[in-house]
Structure 1
Amino acid sequence: YKQSITPHTSGTTSRVLSECELYMPKYDNDADMKSVKEIFERQTSRRFEEYEERMITQRQKYKEQRDKDIQKIIHKDKMEKNIAEKIEKGCLRCGCGLGGVAAGVGIFGALGTYGWKIAATAMAYETAKQAGIQAGIDAAIAKIKTTRIFQGLSEIKWLDYINESNYSTISGIVEAIQTVRDAMSTNGEMSQPISRALERVRNGISTSSDYFIGPVVKAANNTTVATTESAKTAKLGEVTTASSNAYSAIGYSVTVILIIVLVMIIIYLILRYRRKKKMKKKLQ
């Protein structure tokens, strides 16, 4: 037995047409449809071109506006940076300048006050010395007027003859008395009572000048020393008070200036920190 194999062949033919095969020949051959397609394509192309032109214009406007905004931001940042830097530098320069001023005030003010104190002390000594001399002259004249041997000579202007050069020594007083006698004799002012009194004085001091003139000189010298010391103490006290006030004023001034310098430095550091922080934030 031999098996036979019969091939299977379909007996029907497919009549299915694709949509492209069905309509394409019709579209391609239809003149109206071709016209519609061309019009559609032209309008679509034109609209795309118009849209593209509008987009180009809008993009250009946006780009220009963006560039302007960027320039404004950059300009604003530069302005803020410049202002901040100027303020920082101003604070720093001001602080440095005031620091120099404080040092100058402290050094030169102290030196100036010290120099003034030396000059004022010397002047105080000189003033006290002159006050002591004048007081000694007045004391010598007062003692002469109260000494018995000089009675009868009250009309003589002793201040014209007793001075700084002769009031403090016996020989100086004796010389002053001789000058009185010579001057009155020359001027014709010598009256009999004055002549007799001067002769009595001359005889007394010629025999014992220490006895008659010694108390006068002692009173003058004691008064000079006491007055000089008193005046010196008073004047030096004034100088010390004035110099202390000057040193205090200098110290207060330096303190105030240093406080201002410290404030300026603190402001500088704060501004610098804020600027750096702002720049760091922008970079992020």
Structure 2
Amino acid sequence: MKIHYINILLFALPLNILVTLCHVYNQRNHKSITLHTPNENLIKTHRSLCECELYAPQNYDNNPEMRSVMQDFDRQTSERLREYDERMNKNRQKCKDQCEKDIQKIILKDKIEKELNEKLSTLETNINTKDLPICECEKSLTEKVEKGCLGCGVLGSGIAPNVGLFGEVVLGAWKAAALVTAKKLAAKAGAAKGAAEGAAKGVEVVIQELYTEFGVSTEVLKKLGLAIHGKNYTNVSMITKAICTKYEEWSCTTSGATHGPNKTFCYSVWKKTLAQGTYSQTGASTEGVIKEYVERMVLQAKGVAGANTEAATEEAIATFTAQNTGAVNSTYASCHTAIITSIIAILVIVLVMVIIYLILRYRRKKKMKKKLQYIKLLKE
């Protein structure tokens, strides 16, 4: 029975070796690719393990596929080794530079410690924070900024109330003066507007009376050459002269003129002169009669114009005063808002400056404490 066990074990060992070699062979031949053309015939070769030697030199030297694989492997290996050498050289250079920097820092630190020891040996043992020297750059960054912030805070805290006080006083004085000026301007504008409206009303009255008394319509006014407006509606001589001239030119003195195109005008004038006795024994002149009626019309127009002027002036003054006062009040409100905004902005700036001053002061004290502790440690 023992003999059978031994034979089984001895048979299993070569069988295992055979299977392993077959597996290795299959792995090598599985990745090899053979290019074929359409005209080539597929030739299959079958080799057994007993027909070849796996590790013989001719299998590597004579096989072109194995040779190309070996060349690729050598090339990739050389490239990786070269890259590795480059990385190692860079790392060595970095380490060398870092070591030199560290050495320089250590040397500088030793020099500073020696100089501090030499200088502190001659100093007094009782040292205050005020006696410590400060670098010029630190002084420019800390003390100058600190003093500037403190000065801005003090100046701003003094300016803000003054701006509010004097701004209110100046703004109140300006408002009073602006209201007075607004009323004066409103009075002037109201008077001008009232005079214009009164003159327009007077012109209407004169034109209406001319039509009523002499039958002078708009067309007849154009024929008379009268352009009545706000500046000449009170000119009695001009109106009288124009009526008398056209009365004579149109031959209104004869009875036949009453049948022409201007019969209404001629008949009205002839009737008024006849009532005064122009063609009777009294000898009253036509021009005098016309002038008398024109004076009445102008007097009536002046009365109407004066009444309308007063009413229109009062209304215009009230309107312009309200407008100007509203403009002054709106400007005053906007200026008041601007002053309040500027005061708030100044106070915010002052607050920021004070905060910066306190932060810098705290940092400077903290740094001075560290220096004092360092000096004490060096002395110990």
Task: Specify the TM-score bucket, using the shorter chain as the normaliser.
Answer: 0.5 to 0.7
How much does 1:109 deviate?
2.8
* Compared CA separation, residues 281 and 67, structure 1 to 2 (3 A): same
Q: Which residue of 2 aligns with 1:248?
A: 337
How much does 1:115 deviate?
2.8
How much does 1:258 deviate?
0.6
Q: Hey, what's the Cα distance between the residues in 2 that align with 1:231 and 1:75?
A: 74
Residue 200 (str. 1) matches residue 293 (str. 2): yes
Q: Hey, what's the Cα distance between the residues in 1 that align with 2:120 and 2:345?
A: 47
From 316, 326, 344, the counterpart of 1:227: 316
Cα displacement string for residues 116-175 of structure 1 (whole angstroms, at most 9, x for unaligned residues): 3223212211221112111111121121122233656863443368xxxxxxxxxxxxxx
Q: Which residue of 2 aligns with 1:149?
A: 209
* Paired AA for residue 101 in structure 1: I
Q: Is the 8 A contact 2:200 2:230 kept in 1?
A: no
Aligned identity (percent) is 36
* Paired AA for residue 200 in structure 1: Y
* Paired AA for residue 236 in structure 2: R
Greater relative CO (CA pairs within 8 A, separation 6+): 1
Q: Hey, what's the Cα distance between the residues in 2 that align with 1:95 and 1:108?
A: 20
Q: Hey, what's the Cα distance between the residues in 2 that align with 1:138 and 1:62?
A: 99
| SS of residue matched to 1:159 | coil
TM-score, length basis structure 1: 0.57
* Compared CA separation, residues 255 and 131, structure 1 to 2 (3 A): same
How much does 1:76 deviate?
4.9
Q: Which residue of 2 aligns with 1:267?
A: 356
TM-score, length basis structure 2: 0.44
Q: CA-atom RMSD, angstroms?
A: 3.7
* Paired AA for residue 173 in structure 2: G
Q: Which residue of 1 aligns with 2:262?
A: none
Cα displacement string for residues 49-88 of structure 1 (whole angstroms, at most 9, x for unaligned residues): xxxxxxxxxxx99855744799xxx655565356422221
Q: How does 1:100-119 map to 2 (within 5 A)?
A: 100-119=158-177
Q: How many residues align?
A: 198
Q: Which residue of 2 aligns with 1:122?
A: 180
| SS of residue matched to 2:231 | helix
Cα displacement string for residues 34-63 of structure 1 (whole angstroms, at most 9, x for unaligned residues): xxxxxxxxxxxxxxxxxxxxxxxxxx9985
Cα displacement string for residues 252-271 of structure 1 (whole angstroms, at most 9, x for unaligned residues): 11101110101101111222
Structure 2 residue runs of 5 or longer lacking an equivalent are 1-110, 122-131, 246-286, 374-380
Structure 1 residue runs of 5 or longer lacking an equivalent are 1-59, 162-176
